[in-house]
Amino acid sequence: MIEYDPKNWLRIVLSLRGSVAPRLLPRVLLAALLGLTASWMHESRGVGIPPLVHTLIGVALGLLLVFRTNASYGRYVEARELLGRIVNLSRDLARQVCTYVAEHPERGAARRDLLRWIALFYRLLAQNVRDEDKLEELGERVTDSERARLVGMRQRAPVVATWISRRLAALADAGAIDPNRLRAMDANVGALVGALGGCERIRRTPVPFAYAQHIKIFVVLFCYTVPFALADSLHGYTWIAAATLAFALFGIDEIGVEIEDPFGYDANDLPLERIGDTIEGSLRDIEAAAGNTD
């Protein structure tokens, strides 16, 4: 995700990082070339297209592009809300782990394992929505024995959530957690799994192909025929208008494509690594605060 100052308009306009403009260049140049062709054909042969059709179609095309972009942005915002919820749930569960577990011979080890698993849950979620499975990248967040148990499993984050629930249940059976508090903690674990499901739903459910295809066909036909409708009124400036129009319409569609999947590594995607670092930093602070009051 790119952080920027919304008030610095000049820097935003001139920035190429995160911009879709480089990917539009071939399409815009083709529109400009067609604009030159349309201008020449109109001046030399009187060939052109009545502008009425494009005027009417342009309204419908604009509505389609707005809907496309809103649908993609809605997915982006929902994904960020789910990740924010995971951050809050992780912090709350860590707070409960560090305060609700009564004096117990295994309290220290249980606390360390539970906090580590909370962080591990998020990292495995991030791998899941990115279709990755390299456990070695998780480092000390997972032990050798845990890594061996996770190898070959496709749904690793829910497995770690199960480890958390089993450890909490064992502590409750040993009298280290009050049953009412156990239910509150298990509710947070369940909410984490629910947020995982929401992220998977966004990742695995793209904008329907028929809709995406229809918009692209519509944009291509409009942008590459409109120069012949503009040549009668713009003459030698037709190529400028054609290129500008292509940049605007193709750009809106490309922005929708850019943010449709917010979990990747593109400049405009959500900062999954930084969110994971935030969770781990919060867990360390909560654990340290609990240790200072023991």
Asked if residue 20 lies in contact with residue 258, where contact means CB atoms within 8 angstroms, the answer is yes
Per-residue model confidence as pLDDT tens digits over 148-191? 999 989 899 999 999 999 999 999 998 888 899 999 999 999 99
pLDDT(279) > 80: yes
Q: How far apart are alpha carbons 167 and 180 in whole angstroms? A: 16
Decide if 237 is inside a domain: no
The mean pLDDT value for 91-106 works out to: 82
Task: Give me the number of domains the chain comprises.
Answer: 1
| Model confidence pLDDT, tens digit, residues 112-148 | 899 999 999 999 999 999 999 899 999 888 999 999 9
Helix (H, G, I), strand (E, B) or coil at 210: helix
In a domain, 129, yes or no: yes
Is residue 28 situated within a structural domain? no
Per the domain annotation, does 136 fall within a domain? yes
Q: Please name the residue that has the structure tokens 């070959």.
A: 152
Which of the two residues, 43 and 27, has the higher pLDDT score? 27
Residue 61 placed within a domain:
no
Residue 17 is assigned to a structural domain of this protein = no
Tell me what the pLDDT averaged over the chain comes to: 90
pLDDT of residue 102: 66
- Decide if 212 is inside a domain: no
Range of the domain at 183: 75-205+272-293
pLDDT at res. 101: 79
Residue 64 covered by a domain = no
